[in-house]
Amino acid sequence: MAVNYKVEWPMSLGAGRESLEAKQPDIDNGLDVPDPSRYYSREFMQKEWQRLWPRVWLLAGVGSDIPEAGDYFTFAVGAEEFILVRQTDGAVKAFYNVCPHRGNRIALNEQGSVERFTCTFHGWQFGCNGALERITDVETFNPKLIAHKPGLSEVRCDSVGGILFINMDGNAAPLRQYLGLPAGYIENYEIERMHVVHQVRSEWRANWKTGVDAFYETYHLPWVHPQTQGVMEDFSQYDLYPNGASRMIVPICVKSHRVADQDTVDPYLQFMLKEGGVDPATYRGTAREVRRAIQQSKRERARAAGLTHYEKFTDGQLTDSWATGLFPNVQMGMHPEGVFIMRFLPHATDPETFYYDTMILYRYVDDPNYTVPAWMGLPQGIDVSGRTRPNVVHVPAGQKPNLGEVLDQDSDLLPVQQKGIRSRAFRGPLWSEQEQRVRHFHKELDRYINGQK
């Protein structure tokens, strides 16, 4: 059996309208060409700090990182930093990481577990619920000054499918409404049962939107990542959702339509067969049939391992990458075995620097052949049991982030592109329909910048 879709533009995998895989109706976002200064202007960056970042839901982390009461992690965006901490009732609260006394940071570690938070400056103490518990030498304060019992300042915190979000705007729409994705889209992956097994925060010399734009299309694959032509189709199915959300379904375990030989099972596909539980030495099909063979193998393997959540997935979800964009700065590569979360975090002061923060989440199965897709770049020898949360690997600008072959190629590209964007000859991006997700993202960004949201 050959692939069960037709490679043509516009690309559709042909799923029925009731399926989460279904091609979404087109959205007309016009043909405007934005001024390229949005990628390097300090004025535009300041507008983002005033009108965007304080008003949107931001992916702060995952619930499995803080399983017990008192467990916490910190999340920073620009100059702001937050503490997310598990409560005794199982809920999660989020607070600005700021002492109300003199502005000192309360939590100094990226993650930890405490009975209470103690400010290292003057010893003020706060419960994990944010309430003030102790003021050092309280008798030396005028009672009127501290009558309101200043605690930690809380921000909104909510979750979907095990992913934690914060919002600084008390009037923002509820999280699920804001995300714009249909029910079950995220929840079916049961991310709450996955654990972060690797996290890298690397500094890139480019604007955060330059990063988003690059990862929101597969138009660049033949040129930046030519090695992918033998294992994935670069004509993706693009889908646009409300509130700036979007998706591209990237068919994997197939050869690109640009490859002349569509039959030979070459080493790249042999590797994917093995990764999918199929012995390449005994496989007798052609390259056209590899994707289907892997889908069947993964279903059988899931049943043997008791992974019932596979029953919620289409066959395509077992092989393809559902690259899902959450406005404004997240893309998630979603697979049943694991999820790759990437966040494009702006630098606090430099519009031409951002932090590319990646987390590999994996659902442990006691099977050495069961793993996340290789494109995620999971290093060899990493503990994937979920028993210990690894430290964040920090990579300064100019150093190779070691994210795997494909992502390292992106890290080489973006600083070069950022320099070109600054040229007086560049008048703004000309987006094709293969880049419709990028246009959709910028349209939503403009609504915030222009005061429409």
d(CA 384, CA 223): 33
* pLDDT per position as a tens digit, 405-446: 999 999 999 999 999 999 999 999 999 999 999 999 999 999
**Domain map (residue ranges) of the chain:** 36-52+191-449, 58-171
d(CA 246, CA 435): 11
Question: Taking 80 as the threshold, does the pLDDT of residue 151 lie above it?
Answer: yes
Share of the chain above pLDDT 90, in %: 97
Quick one: pLDDT at residue 369? 84
Rg of the Cα trace of the chain?
A: 23
Residue with the two structure tokens 């590209």 = 413
CATH ID of 36-52+191-449, from 3.40.50.2300, 3.40.50.1860, 3.40.190.10, 3.90.380.10: 3.90.380.10
Which pLDDT band, with edges at 50, 70 and 90, does 1 fall under?
A: very low
At residue 3 the predicted structure's pLDDT band, cuts being 50, 70 and 90, is low
pLDDT band of 288, cuts 50, 70, 90: very high
pLDDT beyond 60 at 117? yes
Phi, psi (degrees; rounded to nearest 5) at 62: -125, 145
Residue 50 pLDDT > 60, yes or no?
A: yes
- List of residues 6+ apart from 312 with CB closer than 8 A: 184, 188
Mean pLDDT of 113-138: 98
Q: CA 211 from chain center: how many Å?
A: 12
Query: 195-250: per-residue pLDDT in tens?
Result: 999 999 999 999 999 999 999 999 999 999 999 999 999 999 999 999 999 999 99
357, β-bridge pairs: 201, 343
User: To the nearest whole number, what is the mean pLDDT of the chain?
Assistant: 97
Q: Residue 285 and residue 428: Cα distance in Å, rounded?
A: 47
Is residue 424 exposed (0-12), middle (13-18) or buried (19+ Cβ within 10 Å)?
A: exposed
In angstroms, how far is CA 195 from the centroid of its own chain? 14
Tell me, which fold does domain 58-171 have in CATH? Rieske Iron-sulfur Protein (2.102.10)
